[in-house]
Structure 1
Amino acid sequence: MRRYGKHTDEDDIRSRPNPKGNRPRTNIRPKHEDAADGFVLTVDRGRLTCLVEDREVLAMKARELGRKAAVVGDTVSLVGDLSGKKDTLARIVRIGERKSVLRRTADDDDPYERVVVANADQLAIVTALADPEPRPRMIDRCLVAAYDAGLEPLLVLTKSDLAPAEKILDTYATLGLAHVVVNRDELETGDAADRVREHLTDRVTAFVGHSGVGKTTLVNALVAKGRQRATGHVNKVTGRGRHTTTSALALPLPDGDGWVIDTPGVRSFGLHHVDPARVILAFPDLVDGTEGCPRACSHDEPDCALDQWVEEGRADPARLYSLRRLLATRERREGD
C-alpha cells in the first residue's frame, strides 16, 4: 500500500473522478433578468405553448423549478429561443403568482389535486337540458369548486329546444346565478354566442361540462375562425358524449376582449380538496350568522347558529337550504 509522507506533492494523490462533472453545486438560482413574459395557452405531454407578445412559443419547464408545474392560464417568464419558429424550444424559468386556482380531484376519496386552470375570473358551467339529461349534482359540484376558488359562476343551459329550462333555473334561483339559455339553432346562427359573450368581456372564463353538452361547439362559436376545435356527438345507447377535447386550451375572444378556456369534458368532479369554510364566503348574507357556531361547525348540525339567524328573519331560509345542499355534495357521490 502506498504511503504519503510530509514531502508528498498533491499531484501524487489520486482523486476519484466526479461522474457528474467538477462543477460545484449551488443553491443560488439564476435571476434571468432578461426573461420575457408569457401566458400559458395549453399543455401537452410536458410541452407548453405560451403566448409571448404576439407569438406562440413552445417551451418546457426549467429544471430549477423542481416539481412546480405551470398550467393553462399561468403567467410565466421564459428564456431561450422565443422566435416561435418550428423545432425551437424555450424554457420557463418562473411561474407568476396566481390570483385564483380551480382544482378538482378524480374522486372524493382521491387526495391528489389536479389544477384545472389558473387565474380565471369566472367558471361557465355548461349543461344540456336533454341529450344527455341534466345532472344537478354535477352542477352543484362545479358551483362548490367555483366558490372555493373564488370564481364567479355562470350557468349555461344548452339544447333548450329539447326540454324547458324552468326546473333547473328554479333549483338555483336563490343563488342569484348569472345564466344563459340557448337552443341548437342559436348555436349554429351565432345568436347564442352573442348572448354568452356579454358575460365574458374583459374576463378569463373557464368552460366545464360533461362531454356532449355542446361546450366545445359553444366555444367555437365564441372565438375567431381558424381557432375552432373538433366536436363530438352523444352516444344514443349510453347517453354520454365522446371526449373530443383532451387538453385545456386558452383562446382569445375577437378583438382581445377576454379569454375563454375550453377544458376536457369530465364525468366526475371530485371535491376532496374543498374546505367547507370557504364555500360559505359565497353566501355573504349568511356569513355573519356563523359567529355563534361551534368550532368546526358543518353548518348542518343541531348547534349551528344559522338556524337561529334564519328564524330571526335575517336571511332567506331558501338560501340556507342552498348552502347546505352544496356543502352536502362533498359528502355524497354525484349519482346519489
Structure 2
Amino acid sequence: MTWWDSADDDPEPEYDESSVRIRPNRKGNKPRTKTRPGHENALTARVLAVDRGRYTVMLDENRQGERVLTAARASELRKHAVVTGDRVDIVGDTTGAEGSLARIVRIVPRKTLLRRSADDTDAVERVIVANADQMLIVVAAANPEPRIRLVDRYLVAAYDAGVSPILCITKTDLADPSEFLQNFAGLDLPVFASREDHMPLAEISAALIGHDTVFVGHSGVGKSTLVNALVPGALRAVGVVNTVTGRGRHTSSSTISLRLETDAGRGWVIDTPGVRSFGLGHINTDNILKAFTDLASVAENCPRGCTHLPDSPDCAIIEAVERGDLGETGPARLDSLQRLLSTFANAPAH
C-alpha cells in the first residue's frame, strides 16, 4: 500500500465546539452582560460644583467625618447630566486624600429641578440647579435699571419648578424702588432692600437657614457682592456695570454651592452666573396657576382651555374679581397672574 492509498482510506476528522480556537478579547474573555453591579455599599454625597467632567462633592454632610471629594461620572451615567445640588451615590476612593477620585454611580431622585432654555421657542432645557427649595432673585434699583420682564421670567421658572421665590433689591441708595416693587404687590413675595451702607444680612440669613437657596440675577446687580457678604471666604468674582451700555459684565462663570454658617443654623447658598436672558420654552403654564392657590381654587369653575387672560370668555377668576369675591387684593393678584401667563405666552426672550 502506497502512502496515497493509506491517506484515501482514513476517515474524515470530526469537529466539535472544543476544536474552535477562541480569539482573545482585548478587554478580557469575560462575556458581556447588561447586568450592572448594585453598589449596595455606595455612599450618598452632595454635588457642590461641576468643572469639565469632574465633580466636587461633600460626603457625610453635617457629621464628624464630613469631607470634600473629587469624583468622576460612571460610564453608565454618560447620558445623564449631573448638576450642582444633586445628591449622588458614590463608590471607590472616598477618603478625600489628595489625588483620589471617587465614582458617581447613581443620581438620587430629585425633589426640584430649576431649568431655563436659550429662548422661548427652544425646547432644549439648560439645567441650572437640582433640589433647591428657594430662589433669591437679586435686582438693582438702578445701574443697571431693573427689568420687570426678567424678574417675571424668574418667577415663572420658580413657580414651574416648585421653588419659593424671594426678592432682594440692591442699590436702593441710588433710586427709590417703590414704583418697581408695586408690580409685585399681588404676590406673596418676601422682599429685602439693600443699599451700599447697609445690607440686611441678618434678615436674609434668617430666611436662608434650613434651605437650599439658588441666587439668580442680571449681571452687575450685586449678586456676587451679596454672596461674599453672606459667606465670608466665598471669593466670588465681583463685576462692574459698563457705563456705555448699562449692562453688567459676566463674572461668576459657574454654579457653586456654598454653605451658610450662622449662630442660628446652617443653609446653602447656590450662586449662579449672571444672565441677560431667561428662556421659558420648557414651562408648563399649569404650574404658574398652582402657585396662586387662592386663584387656582376659583379656576376650577373656568371653562376648559381657559387662559385666564383679559380676553378669556367666562373666566371664573375674572368674574370673581369683578364681583369683589377675592377682596381688596384680588385685582392685584389677578394682574400678577395674567402678567406671568402672558410673559410666557407672548413675550420674546429677554
Question: TM-score if structure 1 supplies the norm length?
Answer: 0.92
Cα contact 1:232–1:242 (8 A) shared by 2: yes
| 1:328 matched residue in structure 2 | 342
| 2:209 matched residue in structure 1 | 201
Cα contact 1:140–1:326 (8 A) shared by 2: yes
Number of aligned residue pairs: give it.
327
Q: How does 1:8-23 map to 2 (within 5 A)?
A: 8-15=15-22, 18=25, 21-23=28-30
- CA root-mean-square deviation: 1.8
| 2:104 matched residue in structure 1 | 92
Aligned residue for 2:119, secondary structure, equals coil
Aligned residue for 1:157, secondary structure, equals strand
Counterpart-to-counterpart distance in 1, 2:197 and 2:129: 30
Displacement, 1:292? Answer: 2.6
Q: How does 1:92-171 map to 2 (within 5 A)?
A: 92-171=104-183
Displacement, 1:84? Answer: 1.9
Matched, 1:46 2:46: no
Displacement, 1:9? Answer: 4.3
| 2:237 matched residue in structure 1 | 230
Larger Rg over CA atoms: 2
Cα contact 1:137–1:334 (8 A) shared by 2: no
Cα contact 2:185–2:332 (8 A) shared by 1: no
Which shifted more, 259-268 or 299-308?
299-308
Counterpart-to-counterpart distance in 2, 1:226 and 1:27: 46
Identity %: 53
| 1:284 matched residue in structure 2 | 293
Displacement, 1:16? Answer: 5.6
Gaps in structure 1 of 5+ consecutive residues: none
Counterpart-to-counterpart distance in 1, 2:229 and 2:31: 55
Cα contact 2:120–2:349 (8 A) shared by 1: no
Matched, 1:299 2:308: yes
| 1:274 matched residue in structure 2 | 283
Counterpart-to-counterpart distance in 2, 1:101 and 1:192: 28
Map Cα deviations across residues 5-24 of structure 1 (whole Å, 9 max, x no partner).
67114354344655554322
Counterpart-to-counterpart distance in 1, 2:146 and 2:37: 52
- Amino acid paired to 2:230: L
Which shifted more, 17-26 or 273-282?
17-26
Displacement, 1:334? Answer: 4.6
Cα contact 1:276–1:298 (8 A) shared by 2: no
Matched, 1:219 2:238: no
Gaps in structure 2 of 5+ consecutive residues: 1-11, 61-65
